[in-house]
Amino acid sequence: MALVARVLIANRGEIAVRVIRACRDLGVEAVAVYSEADEASLHTELADRALPIGKAPARASYLRPDAIVEAAVEAGCDAVHPGYGFLAEDPRLPAACAQAGIAFVGPPEDVMRAVGDKVTARAAAERAGVPVVPGTGRLSEASAAVAAAEEIGFPVLLTASAGGGGRGIRRVEGAADLPGAFAQATAEAEAAFGDGGLFVEKLIERPRHVEVQVLADDHGAVIHLFERDCSVQRRKQKLVEEAPAPGLTDELRTGLCDAAVALAREVGYRGAGTAEFLVDVAAGAFYFIEMNARIQVEHGITELVCGVDLVTEQLRAASGLELSVAQEDVVPRGSAFEFRINAEDPDNRFMPSPGTITGWHAPGGPGVRVDSGVETGRAVVPYYDSLVAKLMVWGATREEAIARGRRALDELTVEGIKTTRDLHRRLLDWDELLAGECSTESLERWLEGA
Ligand code: ADP
Ligand code: ADP
Ligand code: MG
């Protein structure tokens, strides 16, 4: 078996650049695709070759599995890497790749279906002996949701099985609100995800979001690369992540990591994936919420603490090769943070802030890594996700990582658009974050008071 030779990257922005870099390191050719809005983008320029894929709206370009696979065939690619978002969790992409005889960098279609749907993923977790948030299967009637919610106890969450990116999760306070919420959520999920399926789950109060990175190959290896804490969220979207999760007991950490491996084994996982959990640190309890069958935005902090390149491992697994690391080789060192640099205005309800970047200076120096899809002179276009770059820092201790985070954020300059930079800098002076005690509700409370 050999590594794939030419990879089509079905994505844009910083993650397309990240995958191109892994290809370069491995001597693999990288082929980009771009929409009409991305002709002059960094990922298009850095790739060995770039093919147009359609008009600016994602539905007319990056979200078309047929067009992606057609481009891959045209360019003579033997693999497709989906990045995250867009098609990364669309089972039609591995299906179309299989039909064209092209390797898909991710799990096989049936595995993606099993874990991509939150209801079937919860069932797989239960089979694997992994605790899940108390809740129901897929519900077709509001009356069933009311009965289930009364048993679980209000408030509850009404969640779309196909949801993602923080969308499709709704808090319901009492039985009177549920039928209306059910109808609205069904319609919204149908419109957003093409699947109106809903379930009810218990609302866990002030939990921490802790997730475990896994890697698996076709030779029976399933390993974990420890955990990331992603509790600093607004609107259920992550803003700051850190590894390792602060304040976990060894017992809790081992429990989480073993659970993620058990789930990946149960579903026959291949490649890089993440099992997400809510954690009640005081009670020493954790609950599985979902599995992301792809590389995650925040994968870089795991790379910094574990010294493993997750994207090259993905490419190995997709090539049918063995992972280059065994479980005992994964020894985490120090502490890392990621700050998502979004083209958004934190002072105006995080409204997107597209425009041309007239000045960009990325920090460097010890312990600093910047994964960016932009630079001076490039445009942030309004059609896609507002994440433009990720600033990551590593330190031998959590304190050193935080000090480097302050230094790096001070050095980062972005002109021409509004970003989350200044907010991140303020967050690094916030007691709750410094103490490592944030729950998923902390940032919104802090923002309300700030
Ligand atoms: P991560 O933990 O990797 O950030 P997210 O769930 O935030 O995971 O998703 C990563 C990216 O994919 C984000 O850009 C998010 O907006 C997008 N995304 C994930 N799932 C969906 C979905 N079902 N529909 C639309 N966008 C999604
Ligand atoms: P997505 O697919 O959008 O990433 P997740 O299931 O991962 O959805 O949930 C996103 C976030 O929503 C979690 O990180 C957490 O903050 C919140 N959340 C999800 N389920 C629950 C729950 N049962 N109780 C409390 N918060 C929850
Ligand atoms: Mg999630």
pLDDT digits (tens, 9 = 90+) for 63-74: 999 999 999 999
Q: Are residues 314 and 352 in the same domain?
A: yes
Q: Does the pLDDT at position 165 exceed 90?
A: no
- CATH number for the domain spanning 336: value is 3.30.470.20
- CATH number for the domain spanning 144: value is 3.30.1490.20
Return the ∠ at Cα 183 (arms to 181 and 188), rounded to 5°. Answer: 90
Q: Which atom of ligand 1 is nearest to the CA of 163?
A: 23
Whole-number Cα distances in Å, 389 to 212, 369, 380, 411: 23, 10, 11, 14
Which residue has the CA at smallest separation from atom 22 of ligand 1? Answer: 164
Q: Are residues 389 and 298 in the same domain?
A: yes
The pLDDT of 349-374, averaged and rounded, is: 98
Q: Which atom of ligand 2 is nearest to the CA of 202?
A: 23
What is the pLDDT, as a whole number, of residue 450?
A: 72
What is the pLDDT, as a whole number, of residue 1?
A: 81
Which residue has the CA at smallest separation from atom 18 of ligand 2? Answer: 236
What is the pLDDT, as a whole number, of residue 268?
A: 97
Q: Are residues 30 and 178 in the same domain?
A: no
The pLDDT of 244-271, averaged and rounded, is: 98
Dihedral sign, Cα of residue 405, residue 411, residue 412, residue 413? positive
Residue 294 annotated among the catalytic residues of the structure = yes
Helices (H), 27-141: 42-46, 65-74, 92-100, 109-116, 118-127
Q: Which atom of ligand 2 is nearest to the CA of 201?
A: 23
Does residue 120 lie within any of the structural domains?
no
State which residues form the domain around 78.
6-105
- Using most ligand atoms within 8 A of CB, pick from 93, 276, 289, 297 the residue to mutate for ligand 1: 297
- The 3-state DSSP class for residue 186 equals helix
Q: Are residues 285 and 355 in the same domain?
A: yes
Q: Which of 6, 294, 316, 340 is catalytic?
A: 294
Counted domains in the chain: 3
Q: Which atom of ligand 2 is nearest to the CA of 203?
A: 24
- CATH number for the domain spanning 24: value is 3.40.50.20
The pLDDT of 405-414, averaged and rounded, is: 98
Does residue 124 lie within any of the structural domains?
no
Does residue 367 lie within any of the structural domains?
yes
Q: How confident is the model at residue 317 (pLDDT cuts 50, 70, 90)?
A: very high
Q: How confident is the model at residue 166 (pLDDT cuts 50, 70, 90)?
A: confident
Q: Measuring from each residue's beta carbon to the nearest atom of ligand 2, which residues come in under 6 Å?
A: 133, 157, 163-166, 169, 201-204, 207, 209, 233, 236, 276, 278, 289-290, 440
Does residue 149 lie within any of the structural domains?
yes
- Using most ligand atoms within 8 A of CB, pick from 278, 286, 287, 445 the residue to mutate for ligand 2: 278
pTM: 0.97
**If we measure between CA atoms, which residue out of 111, 98, 99, 85 comes closest to residue 271?**
111
The pLDDT of 30-40, averaged and rounded, is: 98
Q: Does the pLDDT at position 7 exceed 80?
A: yes
Among 53, 84, 105, give the residue marking a domain's end: 105
Q: In the chain, pLDDT over 90 holds for what percent of residues?
A: 98
Q: Are residues 89 and 170 in the same domain?
A: no
Q: Are residues 398 and 322 in the same domain?
A: yes
What is the pLDDT, as a whole number, of residue 369?
A: 98
